[in-house]
Amino acid sequence: MIHHVLQPAGWARPKGYSNGVMARGRQIYIAGQIGWDGDGRFVKGGFSDQVRQALANIVAILAEAGAGPQHLVRLTWYVTSRAEYLTEIAAVGQAYRETIGKHFPAMAVVEVTALMEAEAKVEIEATAVIPDEEV
């Protein structure tokens, strides 16, 4: 295991995220990514399509640091509609697994009234750590 998942004894195991992650190594901080491509064009489709693109953007930035999704230790999601997030949760989960895999860092999801780009439905910040053994 690259990072140590923090799971207090007696707590129910969370679904789709970890309560906490402990890591040591080179840290990577990724600014909020939204559902547009490298040219600043939004993907066609709905909420889950923007999630997929935002996650793909995170993976591309990780690659620039010689890292991958397995190095993620935290994601913070900002969504403009809790209802839309919940309605598309199955598609969001599929997009997550196809882009990130079965790696579940510590996460938070926060509903906000708007994002800076008017078309954006989701923005995701990320933190990753490449362990000392890999540096």
Q: What pairs with residue 131 in β-bridges?
A: 25
Q: What is the pLDDT of residues 81-97, one digit of tens each?
A: 999 999 999 999 999 99
Q: What is the pLDDT of residues 5-18, one digit of tens each?
A: 898 999 999 888 88
For residues 108-133, give the mean pLDDT.
96
* Amino acid 19: pLDDT: 86
Hey, what CATH class is 27-126 in? alpha beta
Between helices 47-64 and 89-99, what is the axis angle to 10°? 20
Domain boundaries, the chain: 27-126
CB 43 within 8 Å of CB 53: yes
Angle CA 33–22–14, to nearest 5: 75
